């Protein structure tokens, strides 16, 4: 018989004749009176449904006396328990320090004996019986050998039957236990020798230096090596890897091919650029502040052209997962044509390596898992790997999670879980092949729980015996996987013990030679100092961003044209039709100007990707980038139909998560630097949940790692009496992170200036001048006439870092007070002054770009008003928040240089961001406006 077992989806196909008739009678009774049916049959009916005639041939029919049905059904339940719960009894713990649970798969638990099983045919358990299986006893033993060995499976939670059937077939065909070739075994031994030798060499040569050793999980490199091989064989263009510190240096060395001498140079404090491969196969980037070695990444280009990329990562370890997912999606998307981007999931694969304590402990993991099937964030499946050393820093599993396994959160997303013993290299290879094949076939995430241990403490200077004495009484006595596998291959006759020892010596000597080279170069070579690029030092280039008025009018017409068969909601149709007249009335509102900016950017050949909660419509119903037919809910995206567009446009409503989405967009933008990537918070304060991304990546990645980003972040902000959370975007946090021209922080008061700001950002994409853009965006101003734009404003000029209030400052000698502010408060002031005829004593300056602060422009304006005694910073935000404290460091110098007094008008310092009720808000707002405008 064939060894390619096809398993049955229910036990009913094994019954025929009167036996099947009996079961069918019992099912009819179950439907009427379930209490009268045996409990075992009720369980099977609930699990497998109605008994039915077999549709295919059964290799051996079951002929059981009616009185023995209880035994037969118990045997079926036992087999089912082995498949679903055998993992609890599996040999997956290298240290054998976890009690295994065999209670669910013991014969006695089902009232069975071996003699009972011997009497049962194998066809009861398989549709196509394996060669070695002759009866029920053989069948149960065969299943136990598959489900309780070095690999364990959890897939009962997968909803789709075809997936479960495929997984079960793969397991029960025995393919995951297939023997490797002699060459493959030798290659694994060589890899393990190098992995262990690398760690031993560093441990001995660089005593006391942190490296976050891989030891105890050495086969992580074997696993990733096989995934890389499979990716190469399947013509994958990109393999994107995200991982934490543990084992990172080993993965960099043996998967990303960072040469030994480059790595040893990092430890020896010699510039590793001296050892960069001259063939260009390895790319590294560095910033001028640099970072510790176990945060760094690299990109390796294989001889086939496939790129293997290990993402740069800070100490917030799991947060790199959505970033790598975003990079993977960007590598899959073709954005070079008009319309929606075209995704090809075969181009790129994400491998995300997680810590065992972090996987269930960090919410960002769940956020990333939740992306898997969403249209805007799917990647055709990621391979997740838990690098499971069975401990979190010093914390045991019973203190770090409430679940049996670290991997359990994945089951909520129907992700199959494969546990594998890290001391079983051949099993690890088979699991890697299985995981890759599953991803390719079903386009879904899969999780490999690689279970090992940690040979040393959290780092090499840490003594784990202090907090985990029992475990670390076992670890020193436990042979390394290289030793175990060498002994195995020697016993199989694949290699001799002498060959194993010689290989170890040879590899160590190779590393010593590399280190000797590093010492030799270090004696004469100059240390390379990374300087801040001139393009960053010099700030922004001058970019003309106006668009010809006739071109804009044509774009506008195309934005308002939809198919005759398409019928948007009546109210929305009227709102959009008003945009037809906006060019003549001179009031192009915020959302309209933004859409025109995107359309013109597409015509300039830059793609646009826009995501956020409710981004398609806009939180405040201001955008409407995707229209819905009121009759059938079909969608129409006007920006897909702009003539002369040379790049794609995509807008996605994102999951209700911030950190994950911001990270994803940051990764997407890095991988596709010519795409304008825009993320919008539903309200600006929602970005609080993504603060780790702002702190550790977006604001600092160029200085630390030399990685450029042009990500745009829109943060709705403004005091309208909506309470503390929905007033402030906490702009002070972004200003506090501002330094070294690392990004732009803008708070525009005018739709035209916002339009030019977006176009300036798009124009800088792909250049050294690019940097992220934080835009504090309005709510109340979205439709305010004073914040609207004219067609002339859009067709001419460029982004202005400073705007002066029309109608004021015309008589410089009379101006006694100059008000400075940003955003909504400046429009509130403009509302109050009208045509300015009664306010000769005032001038108002809108600071549209807060960082880099336009100090020179402001100083030039102040010099025009020699009689002004007072410079006043006006803001809605409390004194200890908003932009005041940041601006003060510049405004004090300007005031002192010109003999002026600097004062503040706004809310007093507060622990909350705003008042909690509308009446209190109105009173506070009226007070600050009156104080600002007083003579």
Q: Is the pLDDT of residue 844 over 70?
A: yes
For tokens 């005091």, the residue is 719
Residues 783-824 pLDDT 10s: 999 999 999 999 998 999 999 999 999 999 999 999 999 999
Helix or strand holding residue 135 (H, E): none
6 against 419, higher pLDDT = 419
Q: Is the pLDDT of residue 6 over 60?
A: no
Residues 110 and 78 sit within 8 Å (Cβ to Cβ): yes
For helices 136-147 and 69-85, angle between their N-to-C axes, nearest 10 degrees: 10
d(CA 871, CA 856): 15
Residues 665 and 611 sit within 8 Å (Cβ to Cβ): yes
Question: How many Cα neighbours within 13 Å face the side chain of 469?
Answer: 1
Token pair in block for residue 746: 């803008």
Q: Is the pLDDT of residue 370 over 90?
A: yes
Residues 37 and 29 sit within 8 Å (Cβ to Cβ): yes
For tokens 């379930």, the residue is 34
In our burial notation (b when 16+ CB lie closer than 10 A, e otherwise), range 832-841 reads ebeebeebbb
Residues 149 and 142 sit within 8 Å (Cβ to Cβ): no
Which pLDDT score is estimated for 400? 85
> Among candidates 417, 408, 409, which has minimal Cα distance to 438?
417
Token pair in block for residue 500: 């194993």
Cβ atoms < 10 Å from Cβ of 16: 15
Q: Is the pLDDT of residue 363 over 60?
A: yes
| Residue range 597-606: mean pLDDT, rounded | 98
d(CA 882, CA 265): 45
Helix (H/G/I), strand (E/B), else coil: 886: helix
Which pLDDT score is estimated for 396? 82
Which pLDDT score is estimated for 15? 62
| Residue range 221-231: mean pLDDT, rounded | 98
Residues 799 and 723 sit within 8 Å (Cβ to Cβ): no
Which pLDDT score is estimated for 585? 79
How does residue 7 score in pLDDT terms, banded at 50, 70 and 90? Answer: very low
Residues 735 and 883 sit within 8 Å (Cβ to Cβ): yes
Residues 189 and 498 sit within 8 Å (Cβ to Cβ): no
Q: Is the pLDDT of residue 1 over 50?
A: no
| Mean pLDDT over each residue of the chain, to the nearest integer | 92
Q: Which positions ≥6 away from 813 have C-beta within 8 Å?
A: 866, 867
Question: How many Cα neighbours within 13 Å face the side chain of 89?
Answer: 18
> Among candidates 250, 229, 253, which has minimal Cα distance to 239?
229
Q: Is the pLDDT of residue 245 over 60?
A: yes
Residues 732 and 906 sit within 8 Å (Cβ to Cβ): no
Which pLDDT score is estimated for 833? 94
Residues 29-76 pLDDT 10s: 888 888 888 777 787 777 777 876 544 444 444 454 544 678 888 999
Q: Which stretches does DSSP call E strand in 128-263?
A: 151-154, 238-242
Q: Is the pLDDT of residue 23 over 90?
A: no
- Find residue 419's DSSP bridge partners: 152, 449
Residues 878-902 pLDDT 10s: 999 999 999 999 999 999 999 999 9
Q: Which backbone phi and psi does 210 adopt, to 5 degrees? A: -70, 140
Please give the full DSSP string across 530-595, using - where no structure is assigned.
PPPPHHHHT-PPP------HHHHHHHHHHHT---TT--B-HHHHHHHHGGGSHHHHT-B-HHHHHH
Residues 255-290 pLDDT 10s: 999 999 999 999 999 999 999 999 999 999 999 999
Please give the full DSSP string across 735-759, using - where no structure is assigned.
HHT--TT--EEE--SSHHHHHHHHH
| Residue range 305-330: mean pLDDT, rounded | 95
Residues 89-125 pLDDT 10s: 999 999 999 999 999 999 999 999 999 999 999 988 9
Percent of the chain with pLDDT over 70: 96
Which pLDDT score is estimated for 58? 41
Which pLDDT score is estimated for 128? 84
Q: 712-716 and 744-746: which strand pairing?
A: unpaired
Q: Is the pLDDT of residue 3 over 50?
A: no
Which pLDDT score is estimated for 54? 44
Cβ atoms < 10 Å from Cβ of 792: 13
């Amino acid at each position: 018989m064939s060894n390619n077992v096809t398993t049955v989806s229910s036990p009913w196909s094994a019954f025929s004749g009167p036996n099947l008739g009996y079961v069918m009678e019992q099912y009819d009774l179950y439907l009427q009176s379930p209490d009268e049916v045996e409990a075992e049959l009720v369980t099977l009916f609930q699990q497998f449904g109605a008994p039915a005639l077999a549709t295919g041939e059964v290799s051996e029919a079951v002929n059981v006396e009616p009185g023995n049905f209880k035994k037969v059904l118990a045997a079926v339940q036992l087999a089912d328990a082995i498949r679903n719960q055998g993992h609890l009894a599996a040999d997956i713990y290298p240290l054998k320090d976890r009690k295994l649970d065999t209670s669910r798969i013991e014969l006695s638990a089902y009232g069975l004996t071996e003699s009972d099983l011997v009497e049962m045919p194998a066809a009861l358990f398989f549709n196509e019986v394996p060669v070695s299986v002759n009866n029920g006893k053989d069948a149960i033993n065969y299943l136990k050998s598959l489900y309780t060995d070095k690999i364990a499976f959890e897939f009962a939670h997968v909803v789709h039957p075809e997936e479960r059937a495929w997984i079960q077939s793969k397991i029960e065909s025995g393919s995951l236990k297939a023997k490797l070739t002699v060459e493959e075994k030798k290659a694994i031994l060589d890899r393990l020798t190098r992995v262990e030798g690398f760690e031993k060499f560093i441990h001995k040569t660089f005593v006391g230096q942190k490296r976050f050793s891989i030891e105890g999980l050495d086969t992580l490199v074997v696993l990733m090596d096989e995934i890389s091989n499979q990716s190469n064989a399947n013509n994958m263009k990109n393999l994107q890897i995200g991982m934490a510190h543990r084992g990172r240096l080993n993965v960099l060395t043996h998967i990303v091919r960072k040469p030994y001498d480059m790595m040893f140079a990092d430890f020896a404090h010699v510039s590793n650029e001296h050892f960069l491969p001259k063939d260009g196969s390895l790319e590294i980037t560095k910033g001028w502040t640099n970072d510790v070695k176990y945060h760094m990444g690299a990109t390796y280009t294989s001889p086939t052209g496939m790129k293997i990329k290990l993402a740069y990562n800070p100490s917030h370890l799991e947060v790199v997962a959505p970033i790598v997912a975003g990079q993977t999606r960007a590598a899959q998307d073709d954005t070079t044509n008009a319309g929606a981007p075209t995704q090809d999931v075969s181009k790129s694969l994400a491998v995300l390596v997680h810590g065992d304590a972090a996987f269930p402990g960090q919410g960002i993991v769940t956020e990333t898992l939740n992306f898997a099937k969403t249209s805007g964030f799917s990647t055709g499946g990621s391979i997740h790997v838990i690098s499971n050393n069975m401990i979190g820093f010093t914390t045991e599993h019973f203190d770090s999670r409430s679940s049996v396994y670290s991997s359990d959160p994945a089951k909520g997303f129907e992700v199959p879980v494969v546990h594998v013993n890290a001391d079983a290299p051949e099993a690890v290879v088979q699991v890697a092949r299985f995981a890759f094949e599953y991803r390719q076939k079903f386009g879904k995430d899969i999780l490999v729980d690689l279970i090992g241990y940690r040979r040393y403490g959290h780092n090499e200077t840490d003594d784990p015996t202090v907090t985990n004495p029992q475990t670390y009484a076992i670890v020193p006595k436990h042979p390394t996987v290289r030793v175990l596998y060498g002994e195995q291959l020697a016993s199989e006759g694949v290699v001799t013990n002498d060959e194993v020892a010689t290989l170890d010596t040879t590899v160590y000597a190779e590393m010593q030679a590399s280190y000797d080279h590093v010492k030799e170069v270090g004696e004469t070579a100059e240390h390379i100092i990374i300087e801040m690029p001139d393009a960053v030092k010099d700030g922004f280039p001058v970019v003309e961003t106006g668009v010809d008025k006739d071109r804009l009018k044509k774009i506008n017409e195309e934005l308002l044209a939809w198919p005759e068969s398409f019928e948007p909601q009546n109210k929305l149709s009227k709102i959009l039709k008003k945009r037809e007249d906006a060019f003549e009335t001179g009031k192009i509102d915020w959302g309209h100007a933004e859409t025109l900016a995107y359309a013109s950017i597409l015509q300039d050949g830059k793609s646009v990707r826009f995501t956020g909660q409710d981004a398609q419509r806009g939180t405040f119903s201001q955008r409407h980038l995707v229209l819905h037919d009121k009759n059938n809910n079909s969608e129409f995206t006007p920006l897909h139909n702009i003539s002369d567009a040379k790049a794609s446009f995509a807008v996605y409503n994102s999951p209700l998560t911030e950190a994950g989405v911001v990270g994803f967009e940051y990764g997407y933008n890095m991988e596709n630097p010519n795409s304008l990537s825009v993320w919008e918070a539903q309200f600006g304060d929602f970005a609080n949940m993504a603060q780790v991304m702002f702190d550790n990546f977006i604001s600092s990645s160029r200085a630390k790692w030399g990685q450029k980003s042009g990500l745009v972040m829109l943060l709705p902000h403004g005091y309208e009496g909506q309470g503390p959370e929905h007033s402030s975007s906490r702009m002070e946090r972004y200003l506090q992170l501002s330094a070294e021209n690392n990004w732009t922080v803008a708070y525009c008061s005018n739709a035209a200036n916002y339009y030019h700001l977006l176009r300036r950002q798009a124009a800088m994409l792909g250049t050294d001048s690019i940097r992220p853009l934080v835009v504090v965006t309005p709510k109340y101003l979205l439709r305010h006439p004073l914040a609207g734009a004219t067609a002339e404003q859009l067709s001419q000029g460029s982004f202005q870092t400073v705007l002066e209030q029309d109608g004021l400052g015309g008589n410089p000698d009379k101006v006694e007070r100059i008000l400075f502010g940003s955003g909504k408060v400046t429009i509130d002031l403009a509302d109050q002054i009208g045509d300015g005829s009664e306010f000769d004593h005032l001038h108002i300056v809108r600071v549209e770009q807060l960082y880099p602060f336009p100090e020179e422009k402001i100083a030039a304006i102040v010099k025009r008003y020699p009689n002004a005694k007072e410079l006043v910073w006006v803001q809605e935000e409390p004194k200890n928040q908003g932009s005041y404290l940041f601006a003060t460091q510049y405004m004090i110098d300007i005031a002192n240089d010109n003999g002026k007094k600097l004062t503040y008008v706004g809310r007093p310092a507060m622990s909350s961001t705003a008042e909690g009720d509308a009446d209190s808000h109105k009173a506070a707002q009226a007070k600050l406006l009156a104080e600002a405008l007083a003579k």
